[in-house]
Amino acid sequence: MLSQGFVSAAAIAASVLFILSLGGLSNQEKAKRAVWYGIIGMAVAVFFTAFGPGIGAYWVMIPMMLVGAVIGAYVAKKVDMTEMPQLVAALHSFVGLAAVFVAWSADLERRRVLAARALDAGTEQFSAFAALVATKAPDELMFLQIEVVLGVFIGAVTFTGSVIAFGKLAGKVDGKPKQLPGGHLLNAGAAALSLLLAILYLNGAGFWTLLLIAALAFFIGYHLIMGIGGADMPVVVSMLNSYSGWAAAAIGFTLSNDLLIVTGALVGSSGAILSYIMCKAMNRNFVNVILGGFGGSQGPAAEIEGEQVAIDAGGVASALNDADSVIIVPGYGMAVAQAQNAVSELVRKLRAAGKQVRFGIHPVAGRLPGHMNVLLAEAKVPYDIVLEMDEINDDFASTDVVIVIGSNDIVNPAAQEDPNSPIAGMPVLRVWEAKQVFVCKRGQGTGYSGIENPLFFKDNTRMFYGDARQSIDSLLSQID
Confidence class for position 120, pLDDT limits 50, 70, 90: low
Report which of 14, 40, 6, 2 is spatially closest to residue 252, judged by C-alpha positions: 14
pLDDT of 253 over the 60 cut = yes
pLDDT of 295 over the 50 cut = no
- 156 close to 115: Cβ distance less than 8 angstroms: no
pLDDT tens digits, residue range 339-397?
Answer: 999 999 999 999 999 999 999 999 878 766 777 888 888 888 998 999 999 899 999 99
* Mean of per-residue pLDDT scores for the chain: 84
The CATH H-level superfamily of 313-476 is TPP-binding domain (3.40.50.1220)
Report which of 310, 311, 312, 319 is spatially closest to residue 479, judged by C-alpha positions: 319
- 411 close to 431: Cβ distance less than 8 angstroms: yes
pTM: 0.77
Q: 193-196 contacts: CB < 8 A, separation 24 or more?
A: 194/153, 194/220
pLDDT tens digits, residue range 41-78?
Answer: 999 988 888 887 767 778 888 898 899 889 988 888 88
Report which of 329, 262, 356 is spatially closest to residue 468, judged by C-alpha positions: 329
Distance (Å, whole) CA 456 – CA 413: 10
Q: Where are the domains of the chain?
A: 1-78, 84-290, 313-476
In a 3-state reduction of DSSP, which class is residue 404? Answer: strand
The catalytic site residues sit at 409
pLDDT tens digits, residue range 254-284?
Answer: 877 788 888 889 888 988 888 887 777 677 7
